[in-house]
Structure 1
Amino acid sequence: MSQVPQIKVPATYMRGGTSKGVFFNLAELPASCQVPGEARDKLLMRVIGSPDPYAKQIDGMGGATSSTSKTVILAKSTRPDHDVDYLFGQVAIDKAFVDWSGNCGNLSAAVGPFAISNGLIDPARVPSDGICTVRIWQANIGKTIIAHVPMTAGAVQETGDFELDGVTFPAAEVQLEFIDPADEGEGEGGGSMFPTGNLVDDLEVPGVGTLKATMINAGIPTIFVNAEAIGYTGTELQEAINGDSKALTMFETIRAYGALRMGLIKNVDEAAKRQHTPKVAFVAPAQTYTASSGKTVEAADIDLCVRALSMGKLHHAMMGTAAVAIGTAAAIPGTLVNLAAGGGERNAVRFGHPSGTLRVGAEAQQASGEWTVTKAIMSRSARVLMEGWVRVPGDTF
């Protein structure tokens, strides 16, 4: 039996927001993996430990959840007025594919710190102390993100007292601005924040019924439905849904038919090969509940409750891109998100999720009957967990 040695690839394992992922400098990838294609996908899947029929990713860096089965490739940007190009790959856990259809808002918080620490930013733009503004081109969706990264004594500041529900320990705050976050749709749904042309639609879902739905392209394509309409309160934690195969099938059916209605796919069967987008979320008016940490979230401290699914499971907190969608939809009177928050005009909301609360702001305006959002703003944190090399068998790609 022939023995194939492993190869080493420079990498950094980072937490960004409530996610973790393996970060690469494009220039340090093997030559065949520096361009999109089969070799790159095979490398990333092997690094993460997919596909894994046991759904544990024991033989890789993944953590067997949508929040930890992630990869990022960064490079100096060639685009005007941008510092770094950011490409995100969501690695399927039990299937052999990498989904490149959307962004990860949580890992966006780690892009600036990685870029600074790895020499991808012009040194003249990096202050020794204060805030370094990093202009990011999000290549998956063709959008700009501006990260405000704290610096201390010439290095990225990672420790601090900023607390983020869903993350155990405090860290330094990284403020993110998602510029012009709307309209990342494809196909017939492209070109509009609301691909159907409506703030609320009647979405027919076989086996489920006809649901009121707000379908929006902002941050990430997202389908919002009312919790009550599908038998939930909006205060559920992961165990209430992720162990219920019937519920997961229902949510996947809603997602597939919503994706079809949004023009993201041409037939419902295509949804199985597009796991990362769109997201499905359900909303409810503000209520008091106990978060997964055991702390009480008071109704008086939030504007509404939101629960969202990612890669087929209820997320333990909230995806950053879905938070952008929540903030954007909340700013537009008449959407299900806005109505759950009490209706009316607003430029920020604090919503309750399974791990606690999150505040997100959005600047929306209406002109000639069309809604536009100039930016959405939220704060996350990021930290290097490990750096060096990842190893994969030499015949991986």
Structure 2
Amino acid sequence: MSFKPQIKVPATYMRGGTSKGVFFNLTDLPLEAQVAGPERDTLLLRVIGSPDPYAKHTDGMGGATSSTSKTVILSKSTQPDHDVDYLFGQVAIDKPFIDWSGNCGNLTAAVGSFAISNGLVDSTRIPDNGIAVVRIWQANIKKTIVAHVPITQGEVQETGDFELDGVTFPAAEVVVEFMNPADGEGSMFPSGCLVDMLDVPDIGKFAVTMINAGIPTLFFNADELGYIGTELQEAINGDAQALERFEIIRAHGALKMGLISNLDQAQSRQHTPKIAFVSKAQSYVASSGKHINVDDIDICVRALSMGKLHHAMMGTAAVAIATAAAVPGTLVNLAAGGGARDNVTFGHPSGTLRVGASAIESNGQWHAEKAVMSRSARVLMQGNVRVPQV
């Protein structure tokens, strides 16, 4: 029996915010993977090492968490007044599928850097020293994102003193603006209400704020779900029954938001919607041992991604948090103290994060104008990934 050799595909392994993933230039992919379809998914699954029943990703580039099982495909933009098209794939760990339904806000911070370093941004837009403004078209959700990338002597600056809770070492600050971040074509609040009641058979009825901003997200009050709001990963991720309960609630929320037409479809749409719970600001000790003081934050938020409590906060969920906080009367806004606000500092398992957002009401409908946050990014490794041929 003869075996085919592995193929080599140029790739860059990057950290963006509190996530990391494998980045590709579209034109570097094999021809059959340059278009959406099973060939592309098969390739990327093998790159990451999924599906892995051991949940370790030993035979791939993934890190066996929702934060590290990610792929990104970039190309010169097909949209006017944009520099780069950004397509994100959230790779399931133990199942053979990739969810293309949403964005990764954390990896967005690395998109501008990759685009500049790989010639996807016109050289006239890159200063010798200063800030390069990279106009990103997020192809999953069809939205504009603007990344402000520091440049030193004509090259992307990755080192710096900006610290981000959830990331061990400091790096250069990248400011990311999410323009008109409401997801999809419908209302920012799909039911038309700031707070709804979600009836989950055999589990209970819960107040929920359903919002399409950054990424579709379901926000619950922590105490209604039986939590305090300062939980760390081990308190939830080690409880199989709790995770199953969260997934059932999330599936019913997805149905109520109109993202799926029947509950079974939630299994193949794990990336969206996100499910999160909020509580009033409280002091707690973060996973790093850092003491978070009640006076340092406006609210506590915990969010799940791909069925597990996130170690920090997804960038897109941070947009949803800030946008919901800006709208008086949502569960997020009320937990943060109510009233009008244009920014929020929230506590998450790894520490704190401040995000700015603006929302306006017109003709009875709320609209998100922009959300802004600071992240950092850097190249971890670049070269070729090796993929066995099928």
TM-score (structure 2 length as normaliser): 0.99
Which whole-Å deviations, capped at 9, do the CAs of 1:244-289 have from their partners, x for residues lacking one? 0111011101100000000000011110110100000000000000
What SS class does the counterpart of residue 163 from structure 1 fall into? coil
TM-score (structure 1 length as normaliser): 0.98
- Per-residue deviation, 1:4: 1.4
- Per-residue deviation, 1:394: 2.1
What corresponds to 1:87 in structure 2? 87
What corresponds to 1:31 in structure 2? 31
Q: Which amino acid is the alignment partner of residue 158 of structure 1?
A: E
CA distance, structure 1, for counterparts of residue 192 and residue 203 of structure 2? 23
**Does 1:300 find its partner at 2:299?**
no
CA distance, structure 2, for counterparts of residue 179 and residue 5 of structure 1? 45
**Does 1:372 find its partner at 2:367?**
yes
Q: Which amino acid is the alignment partner of residue 242 of structure 1?
A: N
Q: Which amino acid is the alignment partner of residue 102 of structure 2?
A: G
4+ residue runs over 4 A deviation:
none
Q: Any unmatched runs of 5+ in structure 2? A: none
**Does 1:218 find its partner at 2:213?**
yes
Tell me the C-alpha RMSD between the 2 structures.
0.6
What corresponds to 1:138 in structure 2? 138
What SS class does the counterpart of residue 52 from structure 1 fall into? coil
What corresponds to 1:102 in structure 2? 102
Q: 1:261 is matched with which residue: 246, 256, 260?
A: 256
- Per-residue deviation, 1:183: 3.1
CA distance, structure 1, for counterparts of residue 203 and residue 229 of structure 2? 18
**Does 1:325 find its partner at 2:312?**
no
What SS class does the counterpart of residue 113 from structure 1 fall into? helix
CA distance, structure 2, for counterparts of residue 169 and residue 295 of structure 1? 15
What corresponds to 1:335 in structure 2? 330
Q: Which amino acid is the alignment partner of residue 155 of structure 2?
A: A
CA distance, structure 2, for counterparts of residue 148 and residue 292 of structure 1? 30
What SS class does the counterpart of residue 106 from structure 1 fall into? helix
What corresponds to 2:269 in structure 1? 274
CA distance, structure 2, for counterparts of residue 350 and residue 207 of structure 1? 35
Q: 1:351 is matched with which residue: 341, 346, 350?
A: 346
CA distance, structure 2, for counterparts of residue 182 and residue 3 of structure 1? 49
Q: 2:202 is matched with which residue: 194, 207, 222?
A: 207
What corresponds to 1:163 in structure 2? 163
CA distance, structure 2, for counterparts of residue 264 and residue 369 of structure 1? 23
What SS class does the counterpart of residue 317 from structure 2 fall into? helix
What corresponds to 1:309 in structure 2? 304
**Does 1:241 find its partner at 2:236?**
yes
Q: Any unmatched runs of 5+ in structure 1? A: 185-189
Q: Which amino acid is the alignment partner of residue 212 of structure 1?
A: A
Which whole-Å deviations, capped at 9, do the CAs of 1:100-150 have from their partners, x for residues lacking one? 000000000000000000000000111110000000000000000000000
CA distance, structure 1, for counterparts of residue 85 and residue 289 of structure 2? 39
What SS class does the counterpart of residue 54 from structure 1 fall into? coil
CA distance, structure 2, for counterparts of residue 259 and residue 153 of structure 1? 48
CA distance, structure 1, for counterparts of residue 238 and residue 171 of structure 2? 32
Percent identity over paired residues? 75
Q: Which amino acid is the alignment partner of residue 251 of structure 2?
A: A
